Amino acid sequence: MPVAFSRSTEIPSPKARRTARSPGMSGETLPPKKKGSCLIIGLAAVLIIGIAAGATWWWHNRPIEPVTLSAAEVQVVEQKLDQLQPETQPAAEPARQDPTYEPGVREIILTERELNGLLHHNTSLGEKLRFELVPDAVHARIETDLDPDLPLIGGSKLKARARFFVTHDESGGHFVIDDVTIWGVSLPNDWLGGLKGRDLIGEAVGGGRGSGLAGVKSMKVDSGRIRIELKE
């Protein structure tokens, strides 16, 4: 018996079925991506930067502690300094052979600890000034209280540092100032009156600008020690 189909019943074509199954063509909206992970990464980055900045600030502003040499270390330093003094012999007795004369050494080597220990032992600057010896340079750190009567900054604690390049040429050794930093700010050369690039110590105790340190033939600074060779 033949089956009669109703005209209102339509069989969808294959293309229509594929279109209906496609998620991009449906009216549904995808859920938004979560932003929590980005926020956590951002907070972690800010925390790391803050810790690094704090550690850098503390390192440059750490307190100066005076270096106190032990009795054995003081004896070693004194022996080094004594070698720079000419050794004299007592007058010879008539029946004895004339004594010989040996010139003293013309080279002295001091470690960074010995240098700061001498500063603390012989001056009152041990708690205010500290030297650091690095290859071809000397770093000086200063920490002291300012006069309370000074305007604006009176009573504050001065924290400063400076770098001197150590060089030598045919005229002798030179301490050339390269930078002065106060409270973390590197001062321009104009504020320092053009002092950068000048051998201030050589000008003070030498024969004028460019003459070098009087009596010093050469200087060499390595990591943690300084070698000074004297002229004849």
Give the integer Cα–Cα distance in Å for 69 and 91. 37
pLDDT, one tens digit per residue, over 152-176 is: 877 888 889 999 999 887 777 788 9
Token representation of residue 168: 């030598």
Query: Residue 37's beta-bridge partner residues?
Result: none
Q: Structurally, how many domains does the chain consist of? A: 1
Does a structural domain hold residue 28? no
Rounded Cα distance between 153 and 145, Å, is 10
The pLDDT, as a whole number, for residue 170 is 77
Across 56-65, 128-137, 162-171, 216-225, least confident range: 56-65
Residue 167 domain-assigned (yes or no) = yes
**Any domain includes 57:** no
Nearest to 180 by CA among 159, 201, 166: 159
In a domain, 226, yes or no: yes
Q: 39-48, 82-91, 146-155: which range is least confident on average?
A: 82-91
**CA neighbor of 140 nearest in space, from 108, 104, 167, 115:** 115
What CA–CA distance (Å, rounded) separates 63 from 42? 33
Per-residue confidence at 199, pLDDT binned at 50, 70, 90? confident
> Is the separation of the CB atoms in 107 and 230 below 8 Å?
yes
Distance, in Å, from the CA atom of 11 to the CA atom of 137, rounded to the nearest integer, reads 92
Establish if 193 belongs to a structural domain: yes
Is 132 among the domain residues? yes
Amino acid found at 154: G
- Residue 185 domain boundaries: 128-230
Tokens of 112: 């960074």
| Inside any domain, residue 90 | no
| pLDDT value of residue 218 | 83
Highest mean pLDDT among 66-70, 93-97, 141-145: 141-145
Name 148's bridge partners.
none
Q: Are 176 and 189 in contact (CB under 8 A)?
A: no
Q: The tokens 């700010």 sit on which residue?
A: 185
Alpha-carbon span 189 to 197, nearest angstrom:
9
Model pTM score = 0.59
Buried b (16+ CB within 10 A) or exposed e, 189-207: eeeeeeeeebbebbbeebe
pLDDT tens digits for range 15-30: 445 554 544 444 555 5
pLDDT at 89: 54
Q: Is 221 among the domain residues? A: yes
pLDDT tens digits, 69-117: 888 888 777 777 776 655 555 555 566 677 788 777 788 899 999 999 9
